[in-house]
Amino acid sequence: MQNLTELETKWKGAAETAGSVDALEAIRVEALGKKGEITGLMKTLGTLAPEERKSFGQQLNLVKDAVTAAIETRKAALGDAAIEARLATEKLDMTLPARPGEVGRIHPISQTIDEIIAIFGEMGFGVREGSDIEDDFHNFEALNIPKDHPARQMQDTFYLPQKPDGSQMVLRTHTSPVQIRTMQSEQPPLRVICPGRTYRVDSDMTHSPMFHQVEGLVIDEKTHMGHLKGCLQDFCRAFFGIDDLKLRFRPSYFPFTEPSAEVDIGCDRSGGELKLGQGNDWLEILGCGMVHPKVLKNCGLDPEKYQGFAFGMGIERIAMLKYGIPDLRTFYDADLRWLKHYGFLPLDVPSVVGGLTR
Ligand code: PHE
């Protein structure tokens, strides 16, 4: 019968000395692939006598586990080395002066965020930022999304490794945790927007695992749904530069607002091309609602005294609509030709008086 110790030594040795991820994969296939040596031995088990089969099978499984583990360990090490090597070759000196004759461009995401800040700034909103890595309380619990709530599945979450106390940090799935942090650290009246990066396990033509949102929050003693509608209507009309842009507030559900609505803007799709501000079609662009009393309470505010609204929208989405950018993924390709086409001149600083559209 095959000497299993030798077999294990052979494949472990091969894995441990593999020089590249590709070489390691070839070793894995030779040992554990469909036609691999260890897999082949597994297939012979059926031909052995029952007692022999049991002990040989158990030993063979141990060999298989040991070789699998050796491959995984080597894979992690090679992966780290590959990243290190790439980082070393891709080093850029950001302090180098620009090449003569070349003008850099402002990325459409940066420009759109500046436009949003300019419009809401004019309405008296301040800007707050949180961090990309959040705890469960701020990303979910305080927003009235308890464990096992179906809304947790609505937002496919990237979890960080478990901490010794069993808790897990997350990559924030929305900018709403910044609402919570603002209400916890400042006293009403509050009027803030919170732009930033957000993350969800999602990737296709219209979804990226990293994207941007802007959150809005107004808290005082009197703000009501009418203010919410007026505020968002003014924003959309200024942002898209269409004075008579139609808006529709459609009842919806978010755990952290009550009542909740989604906002659609009027558009025309009839010519095969999307035109905003005309026609009889609707396009969803954001979620909003009156801050849920439970959320106010979770932040230490008295819901009998305070009330207000919140909204959240995707920045890529409204940038694509405004600037006619067809594919979401191109935002992150770092393709200079794309940036020259869709980017903005550095002195094109958006402001309500200076202009928000080009
Ligand atoms: N956080 C919500 C989302 O990511 C958007 C939202 C924000 C809705 C604030 C209502 C109020 O989908």
pLDDT single digits (tens) 266-291: 999 888 788 888 889 999 999 999 99
**By residue range, what is the domain housing residue 171?**
108-342
> Per the domain annotation, does 317 fall within a domain?
yes
Q: Which residue's C-alpha comes closest to atom 6 of ligand 1? A: 312
Q: What is the spatial distance between Cα 153 and Cα 287, in angstroms, rounded to a whole number?
A: 18
* Same structural domain, 175 and 248: yes
Q: What is the spatial distance between Cα 309 and Cα 323, in angstroms, rounded to a whole number?
A: 28
> Per the domain annotation, does 235 fall within a domain?
yes
| 3-state secondary structure at position 265 | strand
Is 239's C-beta closer than 6 angstroms to any atom of ligand 1? no
Phi, psi of 299 (to 5 degrees): -100, 10
Tokens 């650290």 found at:
185
Q: Which amino acid is residue 279, in one-letter code?
A: G
Percent of the chain scoring above 70 in pLDDT? 97
* Same structural domain, 82 and 117: no
* Same structural domain, 252 and 333: yes
Q: Is the peptide bond before 255 cis (omega within 30 degrees of 0)?
A: no
Q: In sequence order, what E strands does the chain have?
A: 126-127, 133-134, 170-171, 190-199, 210-220, 247-254, 257-268, 275-276, 281-291, 307-314
Cα of 352 vs centre of ligand 1, distance in Å, is: 26
The pLDDT tens digits for 310-339 are 999 999 999 999 998 988 889 999 899 999
* Same structural domain, 170 and 313: yes
* Same structural domain, 135 and 268: yes
* Same structural domain, 144 and 224: yes
Chain-centre distance for alpha carbon 20: 31
* Same structural domain, 228 and 324: yes
* Same structural domain, 154 and 261: yes
Is 312's C-beta closer than 6 angstroms to any atom of ligand 1? yes
- Residue 2 is predicted with a pLDDT of 62
> Per the domain annotation, does 162 fall within a domain?
yes
The larger pLDDT score, comparing residue 352 to residue 236, is at 236
In angstroms, the Cα distances linking 76 to 20, 73, 82, 147 are: 11, 5, 10, 32
Residue where a domain terminates, one of 38, 61, 89: 89
Residue 198 in this model has a pLDDT that exceeds 70: yes
> Per the domain annotation, does 34 fall within a domain?
yes
Averaged pLDDT, 185-205: 93
Is 176's C-beta closer than 6 angstroms to any atom of ligand 1? yes
Cα of 176 vs centre of ligand 1, distance in Å, is: 7
> Per the domain annotation, does 256 fall within a domain?
yes
* Same structural domain, 69 and 120: no
Residue 125 in this model has a pLDDT that exceeds 60: yes
* Same structural domain, 115 and 164: yes
Q: How many CB atoms neighbour CB 207 within 10 A?
A: 15
> Per the domain annotation, does 103 fall within a domain?
no
Percent of the chain scoring above 90 in pLDDT? 69
Q: Which residue's C-alpha comes closest to atom 9 of ligand 1? A: 311
* Same structural domain, 79 and 113: no
Given a contact cutoff of 8 angstroms between Cβ atoms, the answer to whether 352 and 119 are in contact is yes
Given a contact cutoff of 8 angstroms between Cβ atoms, the answer to whether 132 and 194 are in contact is no
In terms of Cα–Cα distance, which of 313, 281, 130 is closest to 212?
Answer: 313
Given a contact cutoff of 8 angstroms between Cβ atoms, the answer to whether 178 and 194 are in contact is yes
Q: What is the spatial distance between Cα 211 and Cα 194, in angstroms, rounded to a whole number?
A: 14
Q: CB neighbours of 106 closer than 8 A, spacing ≥ 6?
A: 114, 343, 344, 345, 346, 348
- Residue 164 is predicted with a pLDDT of 94
- Residue 182 is predicted with a pLDDT of 98
Cα of 174 vs centre of ligand 1, distance in Å, is: 7
What's the angle, vertex CA 325, arms to CA 214 and CA 253, rounded to 5? 40
* Same structural domain, 247 and 201: yes
In terms of Cα–Cα distance, which of 236, 289, 288, 238 is closest to 267?
Answer: 236
- Residue 353 is predicted with a pLDDT of 72
Give the DSSP H/E element, type plus range, for residue 40.
helix 37-44
In angstroms, the Cα distances linking 16 to 4, 10, 11, 35, 76 are: 18, 10, 9, 21, 11
Give me the number of domains the chain comprises.
Answer: 2
| 3-state secondary structure at position 344 | strand
CATH of the domain at 201: 3.30.930.10
Is 292's C-beta closer than 6 angstroms to any atom of ligand 1? no
Question: Any idea which of 168-172, 203-207, 243-247 has the lowest mean pLDDT?
Answer: 203-207
Cα of 262 vs centre of ligand 1, distance in Å, is: 9
> Per the domain annotation, does 356 fall within a domain?
no
Question: Any idea which of 169-173, 174-178, 269-273, 303-307 has the lowest mean pLDDT?
Answer: 269-273
Which atom in ligand 1 lies closest to the alpha carbon of residue 154?
12
Which atom in ligand 1 lies closest to the alpha carbon of residue 179?
9
> Per the domain annotation, does 199 fall within a domain?
yes
Cα of 349 vs centre of ligand 1, distance in Å, is: 28
- Residue 358 is predicted with a pLDDT of 57
Cα of 144 vs centre of ligand 1, distance in Å, is: 12
Question: Any idea which of 43-52, 221-230, 245-254, 289-298 has the lowest mean pLDDT?
Answer: 43-52
Q: CB neighbours of 185 closer than 8 A, spacing ≥ 6?
A: none
